[in-house]
Structure 1
Amino acid sequence: MTSTVLLALDTSTEYCSVALLRAEAPSDASQQAQARLWARHELTGAVSSTRVLPAVRELFDEAGMALAQCNAVAFGAGPGSFTGLRTATGVAQGLAFGLSVPVVPISTLLVCAESARRRDASITRVVAALDARMGEVYWADYAWDAGIGEWQTLTPPSLGAPEELVAPEVPFTLAGNAAHAFGARLGLVERAAVVDGDALPDAQPLAFAALRAYRAGRTVAAEHAAPEYVRDKVAQTTAERLAERAARGGPEA
């Protein structure tokens, strides 16, 4: 068997999430693919940048492997926290440069879909929706293609008001935290067959999605790795903050 060692990083949320995946590719059709995963997923708030590299070292030590054995570095490219996305991008680039390996950018919304499916293999259609703040939602629509064993993007990562999201005409799982954040304002909640609020950006499902991308050649050179912000605006005006609080039923001041 041929081994692939892949490091996955996600700091798009308040968590610092790091996973190390060692996967064996079967040498013939009679063998089953094997994989081992080591991970850290820690609530760090705004200081994920201070925890990423120590967590990487811990995982390689725990796995009994050297950093030089790494074949690729994957990261949650966004959307998500602007600061967090820059952290993951910078660390992935730095490690990839030093190791002379490619980078695998993976959408955090696709990671939500992957997370939902890894808990329920019967899932074939996922709308991933994350709270984007400012009264908006990051979202995308994915379908699992069993023939090739990969997600197909039907609606690419987008930004919109909760009421604007379009529900598929077929049964689907709603993944991500938008249902919890917006409640009835998110019309997709009533249309969804399943609401999986625990399917969130995490380095573990990211690693498995990135492994497929790596093996399919969907990688970039370190210097070309970049965040997928989706939104250009990073701050609200006072009026916008007050309007969002009112919409959520909170105090106006």
Structure 2
Amino acid sequence: MTQTVLLALDTSTEFCSVALLSTDHIAGQAAGAARIWVRHEQTGAVSSTRLLPAIRELFDEAGLKLADCHAIAFGSGPGSFTGLRTATGVAQGLAFGLNLPVVPISTLLACAESARLRDPSATRVLAALDARMDEIYWADYAWDVALGEWRTLRPASLDAPEGLVLPDVPFILAGNAAAAFGARLPAVAAARAVDSEALPHAVPLAHAALRAFRAGRTVPADQAAPEYIRDKVAQTTAERVADKAAKAEQAAAAAAIAARLAHDAQQGEGRQ
């Protein structure tokens, strides 16, 4: 029997969301039920100050060590630019420090996964999030029963609410765009159900990431990057330099935290 431990982070919204998932697996058999520990707190624009302490709390609560972890997953976007950089930087730093693969998961896919976890009949999901500036982020997903995985029918896009393309089969509308735009969003009237609670969250992200990890859909830490759907305007040279420096500083800080947490864990074992 092997144990898989995966840490999932999402700071793409005003919430700091962290989940630690652990599941056992016997070769040739289906995985056992997952155990999951969660912190999901509304932190506004200061998720970066809460993220690392929340990670430490979860490992302590689960009785696990950072060294037990097999992969780090993060909500790659679309979402808040600052929030996406926070989750990306911490995921990179922890993965560097622990020599682990990284699993980027679309926040829109996390919405679809959330809808399916809440309603197993949700096999076609249109995920739509309020992107501010009178626009929405959206994507279209279908659950492949045979593969046990989502297929992306329309990748993440940025449009006016009226620009969303409706599926030609019954679907669930997931995300907060329905609450934000109401009748302006044609999918509200066309959907067989609206799940406004299916939002970016570390728990559905962790479940989707576990499947991706087992399928080998991971990237090295240095290749982890946010998904900026709106970022179509070229940066100035100064902005690119500043952005690169900020990412390097964030990754270095997270790596230092990972080393400190690992040291603390070893010290704790020595006192037992």
Query: Scaled by the length of structure 1, what TM-score is found?
Result: 0.90
1:35 Cα offset (Å): 1.1
1:33 Cα offset (Å): 1.8
| Alpha-carbon distance in 2 for matches of 1:126, 1:32 | 25
Q: Is the 8 A contact 1:25 1:34 kept in 2?
A: no
Q: Is the 8 A contact 2:38 2:203 kept in 1?
A: yes
Q: Is the 8 A contact 1:128 1:174 kept in 2?
A: yes
Residues 1:111 and 2:79 aligned together: no
Match of 2:17 in 1: 17
Residues 1:141 and 2:140 aligned together: yes
Q: Deviations over 1:96-149 (max 9, x none)?
A: 000000000000000000000001111100000000001100000000001010
Q: Deviations over 1:220-253 (max 9, x none)?
A: 000000000111169xxxxxxxxxxxxxxxxxxx
What is the alpha-carbon root mean square deviation over aligned residues? 1.1
**1:51-62 alignment runs, 5 A limit:** 51-62=50-61
Match of 2:63 in 1: 64
1:27 Cα offset (Å): 2.8
Match of 1:153 in 2: 152
Q: Is the 8 A contact 1:10 1:18 kept in 2?
A: yes
Match of 1:123 in 2: 122
Say which structure is richer in helix: 2
1:23 Cα offset (Å): 1.2
| Alpha-carbon distance in 2 for matches of 1:10, 1:76 | 5
1:152 Cα offset (Å): 0.2
| Alpha-carbon distance in 2 for matches of 1:158, 1:71 | 31
Match of 2:28 in 1: 28
Aligned amino acid, residue 18 of structure 1: V
Residues 1:76 and 2:70 aligned together: no
| Alpha-carbon distance in 2 for matches of 1:233, 1:182 | 24
Match of 2:98 in 1: 99
**1:160-239 alignment runs, 5 A limit:** 160-232=159-231
Distance 1:32 1:5, change over 3 A: closer
Query: Scaled by the length of structure 2, what TM-score is found?
Result: 0.84
| Alpha-carbon distance in 2 for matches of 1:35, 1:136 | 36
Equivalent position SS for 1:51: helix
Equivalent position SS for 1:77: strand
Runs of 4+ in 1 over 3 A off after TM superposition: none
Q: Is the 8 A contact 1:130 1:177 kept in 2?
A: yes
Q: Is the 8 A contact 2:112 2:127 kept in 1?
A: yes
What are the ranges of 5 or more consecutive residues in structure 2 without an aligned counterpart?
234-272
Aligned amino acid, residue 7 of structure 1: L
Equivalent position SS for 1:34: coil
Equivalent position SS for 2:34: strand
Identity among equivalent positions (%) equals: 73
| Alpha-carbon distance in 2 for matches of 1:163, 1:184 | 10
